[in-house]
Amino acid sequence: MWLFFKDAITFGDLEALPVWITCAFLILFMVSLSLLLLFAERMRFAVLPFLLGIAPVLYFFGYTAPILAGAAIAALGAMRAFMRVREESKSRINFRVRVLLREGLPNILTVLSLLFAIAYYIETKHAPERITLRDLMPRPLFEQIFQYMPAVGNVVGLEIDSHTTLDQYAAHMLGQNGVDVSLLPSAERSRVLEEARKQLFGSGVGNGDTRLADVFYDIVTQKSENFIAPYERFLPLGFAVAFFLFLRSVALPFGWLVSWMCVGIVHAAVLNGIIIRRDEPTYKEHFVWS
């Protein structure tokens, strides 16, 4: 899991396969751990597999202080999760998988999110090249966003998409000012469009066949890089905090998925006799007026 996670967060790697493999291994790991939280008789039977699951992070991201601290916090979180599930199980009359996991699963997901964020911080901090906006927003992603431009273009009367060229855009802007370049001779039209391109985008932006999306991408990334340059050394920490918040935002639906998968597994195990129901007498304390 950690190998594919390291591959997934490597800047410049746009392949989605490592991300999906990481998610698949994470689901398998969390389902297995959740079943141990439910049925392990002793804490070590649940905590030790968890520690074995996170141990590779030390190999892939180094024995650094942040990683060691994150691993220690993760171990404490796993211990607390087991104790909370065990206490809830003792205090309840009925065995409800989702209710029990609700006591321990959020702790596990929180400490795992923290550990993933720390690993992300280590990877970005020791990146061999300077991190730029082009790493965070690759050109293909920007072009996907640019696909929404037709809705904007319709407002101004121009059909804009990722294939719109500078000459097409310049001709439209000239037309709004009463200049129809299609009526001009070829040489005159080329000169007028070249001058219009310089006025709109400055010199050195390319020829008339250059795509508008490419020019916008270069302008946006250059302006953004100039803005964030003074804060460059704080970027890895900022990225890690943002990554942690993102993981926590998706932890809720991910926890639901894991819980329902555990419900299905337990139900199937009960039907096949792998898990049996055992009723025990219990005493409940009440306070009444004397």
189 and 76 within one domain: no
Give the lowest-confidence range in 83-87, 98-102, 192-196, 255-259: 192-196
114 and 249 within one domain: yes
The mean pLDDT of 194-222, rounded to a whole number, is: 72
Q: Is 160 inside any structural domain?
A: no
Q: pTM for this structure?
A: 0.62
189 and 69 within one domain: no
69 and 22 within one domain: yes
Give 5: exposed, middle or buried? Use CB within 10 Å, 0-12, 13-18, 19+: buried
Contacts of 79 (CB under 8 A, 6+ apart): 43, 47
The mean pLDDT of 26-52, rounded to a whole number, is: 86
Pick 45 or 138 by higher pLDDT: 45
197 and 55 within one domain: no
Pick 156 or 111 by higher pLDDT: 111
Highest mean predicted confidence (pLDDT) among 126-130, 156-160, 278-282: 278-282
Token representation of residue 22: 């990481």
Q: Is 216 inside any structural domain?
A: no
pLDDT reading at 216 higher than 70? yes
The boundaries of the domain holding residue 12 are: 2-132+231-271
Q: Is 111 inside any structural domain?
A: yes
pLDDT, position 129: 54
HEC string of 182-251 equals HHCCHHHHHHHHHHHHHHHHCCCCCCCCCEHHHHHHHHHHHHHHHHHHHHHHHHHHHHHHHHHHHHHHHH
Q: Is 282 inside any structural domain?
A: no
What's the rounded Cα separation, in Å, for the pair 13 and 29?
A: 25
Is residue 89 within 8 Å of residue 100, measured between CB atoms? Answer: yes
Give the lowest-confidence range in 132-136, 206-210, 212-216, 262-266: 132-136
77 and 46 within one domain: yes
6 and 121 within one domain: yes
Phi, psi (deg, nearest 5) at residue 165: -95, 170
pLDDT, position 260: 92
Q: Is 97 inside any structural domain?
A: yes
HEC string of the chain equals CHHHHHHHCCCCCCCCHHHHHHHHHHHHHHHHHHHHHHHCCCHHHHHHHHHHHHCHHHHHHCCCHHHHHHHHHHHHHHHHHHHHHHHHHHHCCCCCHHHHHHHHHHHHHHHHHHHHHHHHHHHHHCCCCCCCHHHHCCHHHHHHHHCCHHHHHHHHCCCCCCCCEHHHHHHHHHHHCCCCHHHCCHHHHHHHHHHHHHHHHCCCCCCCCCEHHHHHHHHHHHHHHHHHHHHHHHHHHHHHHHHHHHHHHHHHHHHHHHHHHHHHHHHHHHHCCCCCCCCCCCCCCCCCCC
95 and 186 within one domain: no
Q: Is 222 inside any structural domain?
A: no
Residue 12 banded pLDDT, cuts 50, 70, 90 = very low
41 and 105 within one domain: yes
The mean pLDDT of 66-85, rounded to a whole number, is: 88
pLDDT, position 149: 55
pLDDT reading at 144 higher than 50? yes
Residue 217 banded pLDDT, cuts 50, 70, 90 = confident
pLDDT, position 13: 47
pLDDT reading at 155 higher than 50? no
27 and 65 within one domain: yes
Q: Is 128 inside any structural domain?
A: yes
Q: Is 125 inside any structural domain?
A: yes
120 and 13 within one domain: yes
125 and 68 within one domain: yes
pLDDT, position 151: 46
The mean pLDDT of 86-115, rounded to a whole number, is: 86
pLDDT reading at 238 higher than 70? yes
Token representation of residue 247: 């993981």
Among residues 108, 117, 144, 124, which one has the least CA distance to residue 29? Answer: 108
Structural domain count of the chain:
2
Cβ neighbours, 10 Å, residue 117 = 22
